[in-house]
Amino acid sequence: MSTLVFHSRPGFDALTGLPDRPAFLAGLRAAIRTEQGMAVLFLDLDDFKLVNDGFGHEAGDRLLIQVAQRLKGAVHEGDLVARIGGDEFTVLCAGADLAAATITAGRIRGALSAPFDVGGQRRHVRVSVGCRVAGPEEDNADVLMRDADTAMYQAKEGGKDRIEVFSDETRARLLRRLELEQRLRTALERNELDVHFQPQIDLSTGRLAGAEALVRWADASPAEFIPLAEETGMIGPLGTRVLRRATQALAQLHREGLKPLTVTVNVSTRQLEDPDFPAIVQTAIADAGIAASDLCLEITESALMSAKDVALDRLRECKALGVYVGIDDFGTGHSSLARLRHLPVEVLKVDRSFVDGLGTEPEDSAVVAAILSLAHALGLHVVAEGVETPLQANQLIALGCGVAQGFLWSPAVPPEQLHGLKTIASSAHPRVRNHRGERALVDEMMHQIGIAKDRA
């Protein structure tokens, strides 16, 4: 039986006994009328959902009560602390300037840094804090709350467990994001996004082996609009559009004589969570009239390692169609070698951060050699990305890498420009060579992943 005590006073939160949102806004408007200036702190507990999911909602409620008690003890007398909903709290620091507000925010983080009793266990809680400092002339309580909330989300986007002060730059980023979201929706509706292709070169022949499809938009860089598409749910239609354009372009290149040739398309975990994704892939292949083996679906290492089982099942369904599956940015995440051999993966793409130092940084050469040795031991293909110099290309050849891409050969270009690079490849897929790397290194990696050593 629950022993929680609930409050029933109007204007107060029933769980914590703190003022609620309407009471906080009333206090904020009263402070505005004094024309003394102030600061609003907007707090959100990081990853609070994990507490509810792991320990139950009653344990989550008890944690919120403890947080409320510590907040009251961390602020100055006369400051107003409120719970405005869920795991969100606000603090009104009357008469505070930026320095005083950030000191209070730091004191709050310090008060919450000591472990809490959660379900009978000691657990640490992190908090993201947004701060909005207001001058005496500012008179809109709703705007101050909104700005503090925006700053808090900036703190979360910056890595969580930190303080972010709202500024003109923050406002500009917010307005840019809102504007870009609407323009991206319009661009999708009007089919205004382009798909370009970066050539992938067979290093043994210097010929074109494949291409990676990369979406391009005149209004913003991929680094800006792709995360936005992820956050807003537009990544599904965007990804489908890229997939269909890529497969259709490949079919056209085949008809024009550029074959054998493959295409790689990036996918996100959000796409893989769609139960219809394998059917979307199958339809794109059928409509374009290409072989399933002409397509490689690529997902980043970090996304793959954190993917839910349902997403991995979608990848297995796609692999069953005959599609290749690859890991992008390999070496930058935290792959479990034991898990790697059970993933539906056939291609590893070496991250450009390791390719950069080939021929000049022994550590990078050792990492690439290790990745190649691991891949070959598991029977996987390897592609290196970000190749910019002949030295890097020669090092990759010496290490036994079969296929590479980068500005040394070409940036991503419209599909028709691939004809300028057409010395048709003798094989469409990367070759696995006999390079074995350092024997001791290979043996150790194979031992770690449970593969028997071949002493023949």
381 domain residue, yes or no: yes
Q: Looking at the structure, tell me whether residues 341 and 399 fall in a common domain.
A: yes
Kindly report, residue by residue over 177-224, the tens digit of the pLDDT: 889 999 999 999 999 999 999 999 999 888 899 999 999 999 999 999
Domain range for 57 is: 21-166
Above 70 in pLDDT, residue 442? no
Above 90 in pLDDT, residue 329? no
Residue 340 tokens read as 């790697």
203 domain residue, yes or no: yes
355 domain residue, yes or no: yes
Kindly report, residue by residue over 282-319, the tens digit of the pLDDT: 999 999 999 999 999 999 887 877 778 888 899 999 99
Lowest mean per-residue pLDDT among 44-48, 223-227, 361-365? 361-365
- Identify whether the C-beta of residue 411 lies closer than 8 Å to the C-beta of residue 214: no
What pLDDT does residue 336 have? 54
Strand 324-330 relative to strand 347-350, pairing: parallel
Q: Looking at the structure, tell me whether residues 32 and 128 fall in a common domain.
A: yes
Above 60 in pLDDT, residue 440? no
308 domain residue, yes or no: yes
Share of the chain above pLDDT 70, in %: 88
Q: Looking at the structure, tell me whether residues 208 and 136 fall in a common domain.
A: no
Q: Looking at the structure, tell me whether residues 64 and 199 fall in a common domain.
A: no
Q: What is the band of 251 on the pLDDT scale with cuts at 50, 70, 90?
A: very high
299 domain residue, yes or no: yes
Task: Kindly report the average pLDDT of the chain as a whole number.
Answer: 86
Q: Looking at the structure, tell me whether residues 37 and 132 fall in a common domain.
A: yes
Residue 50 sits in a domain whose CATH number is: 3.30.70.270
Q: Looking at the structure, tell me whether residues 209 and 137 fall in a common domain.
A: no
Q: Looking at the structure, tell me whether residues 103 and 217 fall in a common domain.
A: no
Q: Looking at the structure, tell me whether residues 198 and 253 fall in a common domain.
A: yes
Q: Looking at the structure, tell me whether residues 131 and 216 fall in a common domain.
A: no
User: Residue range 349-354: average pLDDT?
Assistant: 89
How many whole angstroms separate alpha carbon 446 and alpha carbon 448? 5
- The number of C-alpha atoms within 13 Å of 318 and in the hemisphere containing its C-beta is 35
For residue 92, the cross-strand partners are 40, 80
How many whole angstroms separate alpha carbon 119 and alpha carbon 55? 6
What pLDDT does residue 259 have? 83
Tell which of 150, 166, 182 closes a domain.
Answer: 166
5 domain residue, yes or no: no
What pLDDT does residue 55 have? 86
Kindly report, residue by residue over 82-116, the tens digit of the pLDDT: 999 999 999 999 889 999 999 999 999 999 999 99
Q: Looking at the structure, tell me whether residues 200 and 343 fall in a common domain.
A: yes
Q: Looking at the structure, tell me whether residues 293 and 380 fall in a common domain.
A: yes
C-beta pairs of 313-317 under 8 Å, 24+ apart in sequence: 314/272, 314/273, 314/274, 314/275, 314/277, 314/278, 315/272, 315/343, 315/344, 316/344, 317/278
What pLDDT does residue 287 have? 98
What pLDDT does residue 212 have? 97
- Name the domain count of the chain: 2
How many whole angstroms separate alpha carbon 336 and alpha carbon 303? 13
How many whole angstroms separate alpha carbon 396 and alpha carbon 359? 9
Higher-pLDDT residue of 336 and 311 is 311
Q: Looking at the structure, tell me whether residues 161 and 201 fall in a common domain.
A: no
253 domain residue, yes or no: yes
120 domain residue, yes or no: yes
